[in-house]
Amino acid sequence: MTYKKIESDADINILVAMAHEIWSSHFKTMFDNETLPKLIEAAQSRKAILAEIEDGCQYSFIEHDGEKIGYFACKTDQLKKELFLSKIYLYSNQRGNGVGKQVLHHLEELCHNGGLDKITLTVYHENVLSIKTYEKWGFSNLGFITREFDDGLVFEDIQMEKDV
């Protein structure tokens, strides 16, 4: 498993296409046909991704045997001594194969090397499988938070954290 930092304009174009495909598949049972495209536009459009990168978030492709199988994004906060895992998404045929766990180990290593004490994240409250997976990986459920997007979309997420 390798991780390639997303930096170029071409990389961002690939990421936007990947995100649209992965999110359309992953969230199709959680959101209706009107809300899902709005969510993808608000969270994973080119504009949204560039804004996150400008805010210090780093996106990386997850590659296996030279093939892009997913991506993740994270941001470190040295004052809080934490890494915020903004996103981790895999193509559906890659889920359940231990890839996510390998990415988590990579992030834990980044924390250790960077003097960070914990990993935090938020996950949509109806994304039950992901919540259970994070709990299995040692994350604590800290309860609900509300997230608002520029276009008026409002979602209830679960905030989670793990000491490393």
Residue 139 lies in a domain: no
Residue 28 sits in which domain range? 2-122
Under 8 Å between Cβ of 62 and 3: yes
**Distance from C-alpha of 93 to C-alpha of 130, rounded to nearest angstrom:** 15
Q: What is the pLDDT of residues 102-160, one digit of tens each?
A: 999 999 999 999 999 999 999 999 999 999 999 999 999 999 999 887 767 788 999 99
% residues pLDDT > 90 (the chain): 85
Residue 11: pLDDT over 80:
yes
**Distance from C-alpha of 47 to C-alpha of 156, rounded to nearest angstrom:** 23
How many domains does the chain fold into?
1
Residue 55 lies in a domain: yes
Q: In the prediction, which pLDDT does 149 show?
A: 77
Q: In the prediction, which pLDDT does 119 show?
A: 98
Residue 161 lies in a domain: no
Per the model's pLDDT, the better-predicted residue between 153 and 87 turns out to be: 87
CATH number at residue 80: 3.40.630.30
Residue 102 lies in a domain: yes
Residue 20: pLDDT over 80:
yes
